[in-house]
């Protein structure tokens, strides 16, 4: 958690350095899918099941014009899957620090569309996974008021190769992807016109 708070502090330093007009905190619900490909019959349909989880963090936004802006976020995201063995279910957590870097299009004051890459670092999870993660984000957010926002986002991870060294995995070359749909709310701590 110390890493998260340091990242949030750095984000707000960036806010003031570049005349940012919006900045705040956000959090919400994650609907996580762990997609495995090229695994043949190595895994069953019950190995990786979807789970509901959460994310929390901060964001800063600076406008190019009335309609365009960039936004940087620092998020702690609890991703993962449900693993079923016989009649028991195990909640597997994949904890990430994520840094979305987004291009924002604002057709009207109430509505913003966002797209961009999301970089991730896994701080705890499974040994067969890479500590680095990369995804593409696409979403929309609603400016409910000067203080409150709400949004939807889909985060599609790129495929990474599983690091499997067990004898049962010989001859297989499986890959995995994190796929997450987010619903969130946020609170603007800063919402000021850019400096002249």
CATH of residue 176: 2.40.160.20
Half-sphere exposure of 178 (CA within 13 A, CB side): 34
Number of domains forming the structure of the chain: 1
Mean pLDDT of 17-29: 79
- Residue 134 CA, chain-centre distance (Å), reads 10
Furthest C-alpha separation in the chain: 64
87 belongs to a structural domain: yes
Between CA 187 and CA 3 the distance in angstroms is: 21
Place of tokens 């960039």: 70
Domain encompassing residue 44: 2-191
Does residue 150 sit within a domain? yes
| R_g of the chain, CA atoms, integer Å | 19
**Quick check: is 196 in a domain?**
no
Predicted local distance difference test score (pLDDT) of residue 94: 96
In tens, the pLDDT along 102-112 reads 999 999 989 99
Contacts of 111 (CB under 8 A, 6+ apart): 140, 141, 142, 143
194 pLDDT higher than 80: no
Average pLDDT over residues 147-162: 96
Query: Is the confidence at residue 122, as pLDDT, over 50?
Result: yes
Torsion of CA 78, 99, 48, 28, to 10 degrees: 40
Structure confidence by residue, pLDDT tens digits, 36-85: 988 877 887 778 999 999 999 999 999 888 899 999 999 999 999 998 87
Looking at residue 159, what DSSP letter applies?
A: P
Confidence of residue 167 (pLDDT cuts 50, 70, 90): confident
One DSSP character per residue, 2-20 reads: HHHHHHHHHHHHHHHHTT-
What is d(CA 169, CA 23) in angstroms, rounded to the nearest whole number?
A: 47
| pTM for the structure as a whole | 0.84
Which band of pLDDT confidence, cut at 50, 70 and 90, is reported for residue 15? very low
């Amino acid at each position: 958690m110390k890493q998260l708070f340091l990242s949030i502090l750095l984000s707000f330093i960036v806010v003031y350095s570049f005349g940012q007009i919006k900045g705040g905190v956000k959090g919400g619900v994650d609907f996580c899918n762990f997609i495995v490909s090229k695994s043949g019959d190595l895994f069953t349909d019950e190995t990786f099941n979807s789970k509901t989880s959460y994310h929390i963090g901060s964001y800063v936004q600076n406008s190019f014009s009335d309609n365009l802006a960039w936004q940087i976020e620092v998020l702690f995201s609890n991703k993962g899957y449900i693993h079923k063995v016989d009649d028991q279910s195990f909640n597997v957590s994949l904890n990430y620090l994520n840094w979305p870097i987004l291009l924002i299009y604002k057709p009207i004051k109430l509505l913003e569309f966002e797209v961009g890459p999301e970089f991730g670092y896994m701080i705890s999870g499974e040994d067969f996974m890479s500590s680095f993660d990369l995804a593409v984000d696409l979403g929309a957010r609603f400016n409910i008021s000067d203080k409150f926002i709400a949004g939807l986002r889909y985060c599609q991870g790129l495929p990474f190769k599983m690091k499997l060294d067990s004898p049962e995995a010989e001859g297989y070359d499986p890959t995995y992807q994190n796929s997450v749909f987010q619903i969130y709310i946020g609170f603007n701590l800063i919402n000021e016109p850019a400096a002249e």
